[in-house]
């Protein structure tokens, strides 16, 4: 909750934060004059329209209108509430969160307690990782196992690989007796377990340890792998879910891989060793799930950073089935990945050990579109020389194509299916449309959004009309009071509609000439003016100075908003020309208008 943080703490935290450095951790920024630009992380675009202005501590996307300060960015990027963003920023900046004091004690919300618990878990897991690493460096067989698999010592250090000693209380003794952590903290961190027979005991024993980091590089959990034959022992053992670790929304090595994604695809593999072997050979853009199947949360996480994804799972049947499922999940998140099928018997780890990087990169570059991949798999299981098998193939392929929520792609796959089967395109289209995957909820949400947007537009239009009529009514009612007329001081450019502008000009002309406003003359001007003027003079409202100022404010805000829209469109157009000087001029004009907008809005309830 906002109220639990000291206000001056939040202000100082935001003011002191390096917004460029923080945003650059999520999306690579390029300097452009005094500002920085990038492709927007919040929507898909080819030309960068996401601009960071460090002197103002703000970002703005001229494509999707996402904008704000560093806290807004962290909230949107990491799907956090305000409190979570404050805590994350404080952690990134290496400062302690400060809470409001009430009397002689600090008010502690659930959020504050949760934050402190998390910090304790982070520290405990970090100390455990350091301990495991030192164990590995002193070990014989475990370290030899990794070196024999071709891992360089730099790679081992980069990933902080370690070794859990084969004792039931080794880590427990270190953390509790030497580092003074409570047993409860160890349990909450997933490092120890308890039972009636043994009491408290280490969860990981005699395993190669893989520290797991979140997307910001913070240690949150472990994976442990056996390195010798152990009867009835699982090959991999992962930390249980904790306050800081959710395996179904964490990807191994994403904290490093995301830095490569401006120019390279994200390679999705099955396990830790696949990722580490690829990084060991200079391929830094791979990630893996953590002891759980790929799911929609993983897809949403990937979608924050890229839509360029390559699935490279093991070549066995289990890997094939997992590839199909991962492809379907990514497609449901509007990501259309490529698929790489490795030679029989290979996984990414074994392939990179036995082949050159060039050969590996060729595999990635020649990956097959995931929809096409599934259609080809389907074709391999049908004899297209048999008419009934061909019909079955077409129907099943149309189910796959029907789920594609992209008309251009859909058209491509329909043509591809036509070429493979010689079935009429119209027949395929009909079958595809029958299987189109559009949920009723999606349609209803779209209708609801359109309706709300139209209502909003109508409300704004009515508010502007009302403001203009109030101003003109004030002028008519006070036509003989020069001081009151001077209060109007209106730039007619901010008026909307020719009829209002002409009535305003006529009233001003009469007043400047010292003439009485002749309503009959105005009515005779034309039918439209007569109708508008009739409505104005019949307003049953006494317009005072406060009403006048509020009406002027409404029109000023509307006028500035229109100028901002024009500048934003100009900025989007100039992106293509790479005219950096003009871009800087337009962006400066944009922020000048934003500043004017804030001044215009100050102190009123506006549109």
Q: What is the CATH number of the domain that holds 527?
A: 1.10.860
Q: Which of 456-465, 488-497, 579-588, 598-607 has the lowest mean pLDDT?
A: 598-607
Domain boundaries, position 387: 371-434
Question: Which distant-in-sequence residues (6+ apart) come within 8 Å of 413 by Cβ?
Answer: 371, 372, 375, 400, 401, 404
Q: Tokens 């002409």 appear where? A: 502
For residue 105, is pLDDT > 70? no
Quick one: which of 403, 399, 400, 401 has its CA closest to 442?
403
Quick one: which of 487, 517, 513 has its CA closest to 504?
517
CA dihedral 287, 292, 293, 298 (to 10 degrees): -50
Q: Which of 122-136, 207-221, 439-453 has the lowest mean pLDDT?
A: 439-453
Provide the pLDDT for residue 606.
Answer: 37
439 lies in a domain?
no
Rounded percentage of the chain residues whose pLDDT exceeds 90: 39
Provide the pLDDT for residue 591.
Answer: 79
Whether the Cβ atoms of residue 108 and residue 98 lie closer than 8 Å to each other: no
Question: Which distant-in-sequence residues (6+ apart) come within 8 Å of 339 by Cβ?
Answer: 310, 311, 312, 323, 327, 367, 368, 369, 370, 373
441 lies in a domain?
no
The residue among 111 and 225 whose pLDDT is bigger is 225
423 lies in a domain?
yes
377 and 362 belong to one structural domain: no
Quick one: which of 95, 93, 89, 97 has its CA closest to 117?
97
458 and 597 belong to one structural domain: yes
Question: Which distant-in-sequence residues (6+ apart) come within 8 Å of 481 by Cβ?
Answer: none
444 lies in a domain?
no
For residue 449, is pLDDT > 70? no
406: number of Cβ within 10 Å: 13
**Which span out of 298-302, 436-440, 524-528 was modeled with the highest average pLDDT?**
298-302
Pinpoint the alpha helices (H) of 248-316: 254-257, 272-280, 296-303
Cα–Cα distance, 362 to 352 (Å, whole number):
12
460 and 597 belong to one structural domain: yes
For residue 103, is pLDDT > 50? no
207 and 329 belong to one structural domain: no
445 lies in a domain?
no
278 and 356 belong to one structural domain: yes
Provide the pLDDT for residue 164.
Answer: 97
Whether the Cβ atoms of residue 30 and residue 580 lie closer than 8 Å to each other: no
188 and 128 belong to one structural domain: yes
Of 341, 366, 391, the one marking the end of a domain is 366
519-536 pLDDT per residue, tens? 555 555 555 666 677 677
In this structure, what CATH number is given to the domain that contains residue 330? 3.40.1360.10
- Provide the pairing of β-strand 58-61 with 67-68: antiparallel
236 and 164 belong to one structural domain: yes
Determine phi and psi for 267, rounding to 5 degrees: -100, 120
For residue 270, is pLDDT > 50? yes
Provide the pLDDT for residue 65.
Answer: 83
- What number of H helices and E strands is found in the chain? 26, 18
193 and 266 belong to one structural domain: no
**Domains contained in the chain, number:** 5
CA dihedral 459, 465, 469, 470 (to 10 degrees): 40
295 and 229 belong to one structural domain: no
286 and 399 belong to one structural domain: no
The residue among 170 and 550 whose pLDDT is bigger is 170
606 lies in a domain?
no
Provide the pLDDT for residue 83.
Answer: 81
Pinpoint the alpha helices (H) of 34-109: 70-78, 82-93
Quick one: which of 84, 80, 74, 78 has its CA closest to 110?
84
Residues in the chain: 607
235 and 253 belong to one structural domain: no
Question: Which distant-in-sequence residues (6+ apart) come within 8 Å of 284 by Cβ?
Answer: 256, 257, 259, 260, 278
- Provide the pairing of β-strand 207-213 with 219-225: antiparallel
365-419 pLDDT per residue, tens? 999 999 999 999 999 999 988 889 999 999 999 988 988 877 888 899 999 999 9
Number of alpha carbons in the 13 Å side-chain half-sphere of residue 122: 15
Of 366, 381, 396, the one marking the end of a domain is 366
350 and 471 belong to one structural domain: no
338 lies in a domain?
yes
Provide the pLDDT for residue 464.
Answer: 81
448 lies in a domain?
no
For residue 106, is pLDDT > 50? no
- Helix (H) / strand (E) element for 32: namely strand 30-32
DSSP letter, residue 163: E
Q: What's the Rg (C-alpha) of the chain?
A: 32
In this structure, what CATH number is given to the domain that contains residue 129? 3.90.980.10
The residue among 231 and 140 whose pLDDT is bigger is 140
Instruction: Provide the strand spans (E) within 447-593.
Output: none
Cα–Cα distance, 535 to 543 (Å, whole number):
15
Provide the pLDDT for residue 523.
Answer: 54
Cα–Cα distance, 184 to 176 (Å, whole number):
10
Q: What is the mean pLDDT of the chain?
A: 83
User: What's the mean pLDDT in 54-61?
Assistant: 88
Burial 500-531, CB ≥16 within 10 A → b, else e: bebbbebbbebbeeeeebeeeebbeeeeebbe
Of 366, 388, 420, the one marking the end of a domain is 366
Cα–Cα distance, 306 to 325 (Å, whole number):
19
């Amino acid at each position: 909750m906002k109220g639990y943080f000291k206000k001056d703490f939040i202000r100082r935290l935001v003011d002191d934060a390096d917004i460029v450095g923080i945003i650059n951790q999520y999306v690579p920024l390029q300097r452009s004059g005094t500002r920085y630009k990038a492709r927007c992380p919040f929507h898909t675009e080819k030309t960068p329209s996401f601009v960071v202005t460090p002197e103002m501590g703000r970002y703005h996307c001229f494509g999707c209108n996402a904008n704000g300060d560093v806290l807004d960015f962290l909230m949107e990027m990491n799907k956090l509430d305000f409190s979570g963003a404050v805590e994350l920023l404080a952690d990134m900046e290496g400062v302690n969160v400060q809470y409001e004091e009430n009397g002689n004690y600090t008010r502690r919300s659930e959020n504050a307690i949760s934050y402190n618990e998390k910090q304790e878990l982070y520290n405990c897991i970090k100390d455990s990782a350091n301990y495991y690493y030192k164990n590995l460096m002193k070990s014989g067989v475990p370290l030899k196992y990794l070196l024999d698999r071709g891992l360089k010592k730099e790679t081992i250090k980069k990933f902080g690989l370690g070794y859990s000693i084969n004792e039931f209380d080794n880590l427990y003794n270190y953390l509790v007796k030497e580092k003074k952590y409570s047993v409860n903290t160890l349990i909450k961190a997933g490092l120890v377990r308890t039972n009636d027979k043994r009491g408290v005991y280490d969860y990981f024993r005699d395993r190669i340890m893989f520290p797991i980091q979140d997307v910001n590089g913070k240690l949150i959990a472990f994976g442990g792998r056996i390195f010798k034959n152990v009867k009835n022992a699982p090959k991999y053992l992962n930390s249980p879910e904790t306050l800081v670790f959710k395996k179904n929304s964490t990807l191994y090595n994403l904290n490093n891989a995301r830095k490569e994604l401006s120019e390279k695809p994200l390679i999705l593999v099955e396990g830790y060793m696949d990722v580490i072997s690829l990084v060991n050979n200079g391929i830094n853009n791979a990630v893996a799930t953590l002891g759980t199947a790929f799911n929609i949360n993983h897809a949403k996480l990937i979608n924050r950073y890229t839509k360029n994804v390559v699935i490279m799972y093991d070549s066995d049947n289990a890997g094939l089935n997992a590839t199909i499922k991962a492809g379907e999940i990514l497609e449901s998140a509007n990501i259309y990945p490529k698929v790489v099928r490795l030679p029989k018997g290979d996984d990414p780890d074994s392939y990179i050990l036995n082949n050159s990087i060039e050969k590996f990169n060729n595999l990635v570059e020649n990956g097959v579109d995931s929809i096409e991949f599934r259609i080809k798999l389907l074709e391999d299981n049908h004899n297209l020389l048999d008419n009934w098998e061909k019909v079955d193939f077409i129907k099943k392929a149309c189910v796959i194509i029907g789920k594609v929520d992209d008309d251009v792609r859909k058209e491509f796959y329909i043509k591809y299916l036509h070429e493979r089967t010689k079935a009429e395109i119209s027949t395929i289209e009909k079958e595809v449309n029958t299987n189109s995957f559009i949920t009723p909820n999606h349609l209803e949400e779209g209708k609801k959004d359109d309706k709300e947007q139209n209502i909003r537009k109508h409300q704004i239009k009515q508010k502007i009309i009302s403001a203009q009529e109030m101003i003109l009514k004030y002028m008519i009612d006070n036509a003989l009071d020069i001081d009151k007329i001077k209060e109007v001081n209106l730039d007619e450019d901010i008026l909307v509609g020719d009829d209002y502008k002409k009535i305003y000009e006529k009233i001003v002309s009469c007043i400047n000439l010292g003439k009485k406003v002749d309503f009959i003359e105005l009515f005779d001007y034309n039918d439209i003016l007569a109708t508008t003027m009739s409505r104005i003079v019949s307003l049953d409202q006494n317009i005072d100075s406060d009403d006048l100022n509020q009406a002027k404010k409404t029109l000023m805000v509307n006028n500035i908003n229109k100028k901002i829209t024009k500048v934003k469109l100009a900025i989007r157009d100039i992106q293509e020309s790479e005219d950096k000087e003009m871009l800087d001029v337009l962006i400066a004009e944009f922020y000048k208008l934003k500043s004017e907008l804030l001044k215009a809005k100050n102190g009123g309830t506006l549109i």
